[in-house]
Amino acid sequence: MAQAAKPQRSIVSAAKVRVGDRLVVLVALACVVALAWSYLLYLVFSQPMMDMDARAMAMMPARPWDARYFGAMLAMWMVMMIGMMLPSAAPVVLLFDALEIQAGRSHHGRTALFAAGYVLAWAFFSVIATAAQWALSAATLLSATMSGTSPVLAGLLLGTAGVYQLTPWKTACLRQCRSPGEQLTGNRRKGPLLTGLRHGAYCIGCCWALMALLFAFGIMNLLWVAVLATFVFVEKLTPGGELLGRVGALAMVTAGIALMAVR
């Protein structure tokens, strides 16, 4: 039986990576994440209907979809994915930067391209998520507040996410997220942008079903956004992450069954 993957430790000598270099990368990532969360908070708290009765809001018709509204929702999804996923990708970005330093390259620009490739992968996911939101809204399965209206849908999403947690595809993608060293050293010749895009694809393979739970809990429910982001962070970066994923899978399947049973 294959051993459980452990979070990747740096394969580069610490002596070759100055504290200042790591600090520049960390500060840049922190600024991007802070801006993303600030934008999400602005979207939530700037809504004029926020203080209205929740039941009345749920009864309001959803806004008609057009190109402009699709673009606004796409921007929201992209910013949300950056705020949720970039923190757990920070160690991989730091590792890529360290490998570039070891290779004697001008590293900050290439590291920025790697991070951009990672974000680009989630931008592709955001297009799919926005299209799914459009379809669910058209089927009246999402309210005007972008929350799920069907316990059956919520149950199916929870069950799907829980089952996917236990599949070989999830395991393989999670292993790449937790131990990316071999992946990075083997793909850097393809360029930093494509290497970041490839790592982002693995991350999507690991987390897409968890992100789909936003359709059940509320796309702009920042509490659940934070909970899911924390779950992903712990699963990808801590020694007990894989165990958490399996415990979470059991909880999701159980909750999904319960929701569908009481519909």
Q: Is the pLDDT of residue 196 over 90?
A: yes
Q: Is the pLDDT of residue 133 over 60?
A: yes
- Give the tens place of pLDDT for each residue, 60-96: 455 688 999 999 999 999 999 999 999 999 999 999 9
Confidence band for 255, pLDDT divided at 50, 70 and 90: very high
Burial class of residue 22 in the structure, from the number of CB atoms within 10 Å of its CB (0-12 exposed, 13-18 middle, 19+ buried): middle
Separation of alpha carbons 8 and 222, rounded Å: 30
Please give the model's pTM, rounded to 2 decimal places: 0.86
Task: Give helix 107-138 / helix 19-45 axis angle, nearest 10°.
Answer: 20
Domain ranges of the chain: 14-261
In this prediction, residue 187 carries a pLDDT of: 65
Confidence band for 17, pLDDT divided at 50, 70 and 90: low
In this prediction, residue 149 carries a pLDDT of: 85
In the numeric block, the tokens 């937790």 are attached to 178
